[in-house]
């Protein structure tokens, strides 16, 4: 993996023909330390957001010891990369064979579920093990999040009592988990979900050992600037403290996007301009899946020396494949004098960008360069500066 000082220097000196992924280890390290130091419980990384072994190692080195895995492939990946990590199999619907291998081969002891059928499957696959942490996933609203996760998984209110009672009998430790949706824009998403947890505990009258508030912690994108993460943590802590659980109960969370979004960005080249449409060399089947398929807007900037003095205007992007769906509507704000041959940095692609990439139509690039400049946007700048300001040089 090559190294370079910054995105601008790389684009203007190397003139890359193919897209280049830029990674910023210091940004991922900073995000990990933020969660480890400030979240009032245990933070475990949601591997699906970015399964890069290099990223997994950075998070481990900066205090993330638990990993939310959603498939047997993710179990194997993290077990191979971080042999001492604690793995939690948090997909609510798993193959029985996957549960068996996870338990007996990789030492997984924590599993989530949202049905009696899944509970029975876990009990069978583990030979009725007595050291299980079983987390019952409740269905909660995604109304405060940009991407809903409210329809596919989660026990409905009328199902929770029986499921919690049955899981309590099979579990060494009983947990309740939920997911408010991806990119939650207000702490209220978590306080509302915690009320659903409270109702379920009271109705089932069971002792709960773990409350897992899941993921959904936001990053900053154009038009999606969330409140500081500390406000989310404070709201979650207050709600947790008011639940009818014992003093020994643990609080968990599963950040994905918030830990890795700032980790990487992408340099693309403009191959053609047609009015307000720019044809670039990455797209819907590469790192820009979200920009194409769910209309996600990412921060962009022109990499040119000298910099343009033209006013910004709205552009959309076409990717390199032959598919009309390889289109990113944006709008993406760039100087009005954009032209073929220009380079653009597209930021905040550490979450889901590399994870969704394909090689459709023969396009794509595995070129990765480490840079030490700052991400285009960061929720952790103030926290980093606060820590830095306390350092005394002798």
Residues labelled catalytic: 322
**Residue 132 phi/psi, 5° resolution?**
-90, 140
Among the residues of 51-127, which ranges form H helices?
Answer: 53-61, 72-81, 96-104, 116-125
Would you list the DSSP string of 125-169?
Answer: HTTS-SS-EEEEEBP---TTEEE--SSSS-B-HHHHHHHHHHHHH
**Residue 274 phi/psi, 5° resolution?**
-130, 95
Strand partners, 147: 182
Q: Which of 157, 203, 162, 202 is nearest to 178 (CA)?
A: 157
Q: Which of 18, 86, 73, 2 is nearest to 271 (CA)?
A: 18
Q: Which of 184, 90, 203 is nearest to 142 (CA)?
A: 184
Where do we find the tokens 């109705």?
Answer: 203
Give how far Cα 299 sits from Cα of 179, 253, 302, 333, 377, Å: 26, 27, 11, 8, 8
Give how far the C-alpha of residue 137 lies from the chain's centroid of Cα atoms, to the nearest Å: 19
Residues 168 and 174: beta-carbon distance below 8 Å:
yes
Integer Cα distance of 220 and 24 in angstroms: 17
Would you list the DSSP string of 320-379?
Answer: SSS-TT-EEEEEEEEETT--TT-EEEE---TTTTTTT---GGG-----EEEE-S--SS-S
Integer Cα distance of 124 and 37 in angstroms: 38
Residues 173 and 164: beta-carbon distance below 8 Å:
no
Q: Which of 113, 107, 106 is nearest to 131 (CA)?
A: 107
């Amino acid at each position: 993996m090559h190294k370079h000082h910054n995105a601008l220097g790389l684009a203007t000196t190397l003139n890359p023909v193919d897209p280049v992924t830029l990674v910023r280890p210091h940004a991922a390290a900073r995000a990990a330390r933020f969660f480890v130091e400030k979240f009032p419980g245990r933070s475990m990384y949601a591997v699906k957001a970015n399964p890069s072994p290099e990223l997994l190692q950075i998070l481990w080195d900066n205090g993330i010891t638990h990993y939310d895995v959603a498939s047997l492939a993710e179990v194997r990946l993290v077990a191979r990369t971080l042999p001492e990590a604690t793995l939690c199999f948090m997909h609510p619907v798993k193959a029985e064979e996957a549960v068996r291998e996870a338990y007996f081969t990789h030492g997984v002891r924590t599993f989530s579920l949202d049905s009696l059928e899944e509970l029975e499957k876990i009990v069978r696959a583990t030979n009725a093990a007595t050291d299980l942490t079983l987390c019952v996933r409740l269905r909660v609203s995604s109304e405060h999040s940009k991407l809903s996760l409210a329809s596919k998984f989660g026990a409905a209110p009328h199902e929770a009592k029986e499921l919690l009672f049955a899981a309590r009998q099979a579990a060494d430790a009983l947990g309740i988990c939920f997911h408010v949706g991806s990119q939650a824009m207000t702490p209220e998403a978590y306080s509302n979900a915690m009320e659903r947890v409270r109702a379920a505990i009271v109705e089932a009258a069971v002792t709960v050992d773990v409350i897992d508030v899941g993921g959904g912690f936001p990053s900053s994108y154009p038009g999606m600037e969330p409140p500081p993460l500390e406000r989310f943590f404070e709201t979650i802590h207050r709600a947790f403290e008011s639940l009818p659980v014992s003093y020994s109960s643990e609080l968990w969370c599963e950040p994905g996007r918030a830990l890795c979004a700032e980790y990487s960005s992408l340099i693309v080249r403009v191959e053609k301009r047609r009015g307000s449409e720019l044809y670039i060399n990455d797209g819907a089947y590469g790192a820009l899946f979200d920009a194409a398929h769910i209309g996600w807007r990412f921060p962009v900037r022109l990499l040119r020396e000298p910099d343009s003095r033209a006013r910004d205007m709205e552009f959309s992007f076409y990717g390199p494949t032959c598919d009309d769906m390889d289109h990113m509507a944006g709008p993406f704000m760039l100087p009005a004098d954009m032209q073929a041959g220009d380079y653009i940095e597209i930021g905040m692609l550490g979450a889901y960008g590399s994870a969704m990439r394909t090689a459709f139509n023969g396009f794509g690039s595995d070129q990765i360069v480490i840079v030490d400049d700052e991400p285009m946007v960061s929720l952790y700048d103030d926290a980093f500066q606060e820590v830095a300001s306390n350092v005394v040089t002798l």
